């Protein structure tokens, strides 16, 4: 006797009330075509684009390609999702998509936002028109966590491709930066760091000070809520949020309050009292800061301190055989901004006391920071031939990737220096090509977005 049990049919799903709009459209029956219009997924599906008026209503333009082998029955062709601004196509719309034509279905007047990628289920990026983007950015709390994260990545892509003005992107990212969930709030960090490093004027400029103060205000509620010590039973994402946010604010944005408190805790961790008098390694306070924040605290102490902190970090490096603690000390040493100490940090790459895989730790950090890049580049070009024999083979070939630049003049300088040398390095030609490509793309993005970003920074 067949003992297999029959699998009950899946219950029918009914439309739910939209959180962004006023009502939803029902899904077509099993006989309807299931061609969903979006981009970068198999089956010739393309992304819905927000448009102007269509038939007196807001519209979403959908375009399809005829791919009968990919058509699936029983689903909705929609711009977003069933409950958040998606639109069901009528029969003419379905026929148009099947024939590879464009269709612009009407969207209900009362809808307050369009979400092109429901539940972040599509493997594509989307860009809304400026007014639709502003409407959606004002209602980010109505989205799920994963949808808010995807919105942030869509905005990054729109900035990179210049599909949207940089100022509009930064304005739309602000509510995401204020989001209480760390996975969402950290998304704008990369783009904000790019703008701070390469778009606004150099160190100490009025624009950079204005931008940094604005970023600090955005994240001030999160800093107040997180504090400096994890609570009992704290979820892992909050620990990660605290660690990455404080590192960004203290060491990249140099928020005065966060940097000062982190430096104070870092000095205690090293056994230095507030006046700088050494108390000895035996007087270090291991619980001065949570373990997740030790890197930030030591880096901040080096950033605000002088030779006393630098020497204390060198002593920790000499005392420890633990690879993680040694790495932490080397990264912290690279956070100094004192010109004399920067030279000492760079010379560590040739120090015989360092292990082979440790020699480029401080060098890479100094090459990647806008404020120390010039000094680090001058050191590298002067000591390249002495450094390469001391490195593992693949590490030497990765040196072109360590130089972070974003302007055409520096790109030519890097090409001229590395081109005659990379052929003898493992992976050197490929890594140089990748570094030049990334730098060229960065320069193009900055050139395309500079005017809009500066207008955003200068706006009251």
DSSP letters, 176-230, are HHT-SSHHHHTTTHHHHHHIIIIIS-STT-HHHHHHHHHHHHHHHHHHHHH-SSP
Check whether residue 112 and residue 209 sit in a common domain. Answer: yes
Check whether residue 212 and residue 231 sit in a common domain. Answer: no
Task: With respect to residue 17, please indicate whether it lies within any of the assigned structural domains.
Answer: no
Residue-wise pLDDT for 350-360, tens only, equals 999 999 999 99
Check whether residue 205 and residue 262 sit in a common domain. Answer: no
Give the pair of three-digit tokens for residue 184: 């969402």
Burial of 4 (0-12, 13-18, 19+ CB in 10 A): exposed
Check whether residue 190 and residue 237 sit in a common domain. Answer: no
Task: With respect to residue 95, please indicate whether it lies within any of the assigned structural domains.
Answer: no
% of the chain surpassing 70 pLDDT: 73
d(CA 379, CA 347): 9
Say whether pLDDT at 93 is over 60: no
d(CA 91, CA 103): 11
Rounded to the nearest 10 degrees, what angle do helices 294-304 and 307-319 cross at? 140
- Of 198, 217, 236, the one marking the end of a domain is 217
Task: With respect to residue 157, please indicate whether it lies within any of the assigned structural domains.
Answer: yes
Residue-wise pLDDT for 97-127, tens only, equals 445 555 454 443 335 678 888 888 888 888 8
Which domain does 209 fall in, by range? 107-217
- Of 301, 336, 371, the one marking the end of a domain is 336
Check whether residue 372 and residue 418 sit in a common domain. Answer: yes
Give the pair of three-digit tokens for residue 79: 């711009």
- Of 310, 336, 362, the one marking the end of a domain is 336
Give the pair of three-digit tokens for residue 447: 């050139």
Any residues with CB less than 8 A from the CB of 39 and at least 6 apart, and which?
Answer: 45, 46, 47, 124, 125, 126
d(CA 271, CA 283): 5
Task: With respect to residue 130, please indicate whether it lies within any of the assigned structural domains.
Answer: yes
Check whether residue 213 and residue 233 sit in a common domain. Answer: no
Task: With respect to residue 73, please indicate whether it lies within any of the assigned structural domains.
Answer: no
Check whether residue 312 and residue 246 sit in a common domain. Answer: yes
**DSSP label of 80:** S
Check whether residue 175 and residue 254 sit in a common domain. Answer: no
Give the pLDDT score at 126. 86
Check whether residue 353 and residue 412 sit in a common domain. Answer: yes
Task: With respect to residue 81, please indicate whether it lies within any of the assigned structural domains.
Answer: no
Give the pair of three-digit tokens for residue 274: 């507030």
Give the pLDDT score at 285. 82
Check whether residue 125 and residue 149 sit in a common domain. Answer: yes
Check whether residue 448 and residue 381 sit in a common domain. Answer: yes
Task: With respect to residue 90, please indicate whether it lies within any of the assigned structural domains.
Answer: no
Residue-wise pLDDT for 404-452, tens only, equals 999 999 999 999 999 999 999 999 999 999 999 999 999 999 999 999 9
Give the pLDDT score at 60. 43
- Choose among 410, 444, 334, 370: nearest CA to 212: 370
Task: With respect to residue 440, please indicate whether it lies within any of the assigned structural domains.
Answer: yes
Check whether residue 323 and residue 364 sit in a common domain. Answer: no
pTM: 0.76
Residue-wise pLDDT for 215-246, tens only, equals 999 999 999 999 999 998 999 999 999 999 99
The total domain count for the chain is: 3
């Amino acid at each position: 006797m067949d003992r297999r049990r029959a699998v009950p049919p899946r219950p029918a799903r009914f439309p739910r009330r939209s959180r962004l709009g006023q009502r939803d459209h029902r899904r077509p029956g099993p006989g309807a075509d299931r061609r969903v219009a979006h981009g970068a997924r198999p089956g010739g599906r393309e992304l819905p684009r927000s448009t102007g008026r269509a038939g007196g209503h807001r519209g979403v333009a959908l375009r399809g390609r005829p791919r009968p082998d990919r058509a699936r029955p029983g689903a909705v062709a929609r711009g977003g999702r069933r409950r958040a601004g998606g639109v069901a196509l009528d029969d003419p719309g379905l026929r148009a998509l099947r024939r590879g034509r464009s269709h612009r279905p009407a969207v209900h007047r009362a809808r307050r936002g369009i979400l092109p990628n429901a539940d972040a289920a599509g493997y594509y990026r989307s860009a809304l028109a400026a007014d639709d983007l502003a409407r959606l950015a004002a209602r980010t709390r109505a989205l799920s966590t994963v949808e808010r994260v995807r919105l942030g990545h869509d905005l990054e892509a729109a900035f990179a491709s210049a599909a949207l003005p940089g100022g509009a992107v930064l304005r739309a990212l602000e509510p995401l930066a204020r989001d209480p969930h760390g996975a969402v709030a950290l998304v704008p960090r990369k783009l904000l760091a790019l703008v701070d490093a390469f778009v606004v004027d150099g160190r100490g400029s009025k624009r950079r000070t204005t931008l940094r103060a604005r970023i600090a205000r955005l994240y001030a509620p999160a800093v107040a809520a997180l504090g400096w010590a994890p609570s009992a039973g704290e979820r892992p994402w909050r620990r990660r949020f605290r660690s990455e946010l404080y590192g960004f604010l203290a060491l990249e944005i140099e928020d005065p309050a966060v940097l000062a408190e982190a430096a104070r805790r870092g000095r205690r961790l090293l056994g230095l009292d507030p006046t700088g008098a050494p108390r000895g390694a035996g007087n270090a306070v291991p619980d001065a800061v949570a373990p997740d924040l030790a890197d930030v605290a030591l880096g901040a102490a080096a950033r605000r301190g002088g030779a006393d902190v630098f020497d204390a970090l060198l002593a920790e490096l000499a005392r420890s055989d633990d690879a993680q603690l040694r790495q932490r000390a080397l990264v912290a040493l690279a956070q100094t901004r004192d010109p004399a100490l920067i030279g000492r940090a760079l010379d560590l790459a040739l120090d015989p006391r360092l292990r082979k895989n440790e020699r480029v730790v401080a060098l890479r950090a100094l090459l990647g920071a806008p404020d120390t890049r010039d000094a680090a580049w001058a050191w590298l070009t002067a000591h390249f031939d002495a450094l390469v024999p001391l490195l593992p083979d693949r590490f030497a070939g990765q040196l072109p990737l360590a130089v972070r630049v974003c302007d055409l003049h520096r790109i030519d300088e890097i090409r001229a220096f590395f081109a005659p040398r990379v052929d003898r390095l493992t992976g050197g030609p490929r890594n140089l090509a990748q570094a030049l490509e990334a730098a060229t793309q960065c320069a193009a993005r900055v050139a395309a977005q500079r005017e809009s970003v500066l207008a955003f920074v200068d706006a009251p």
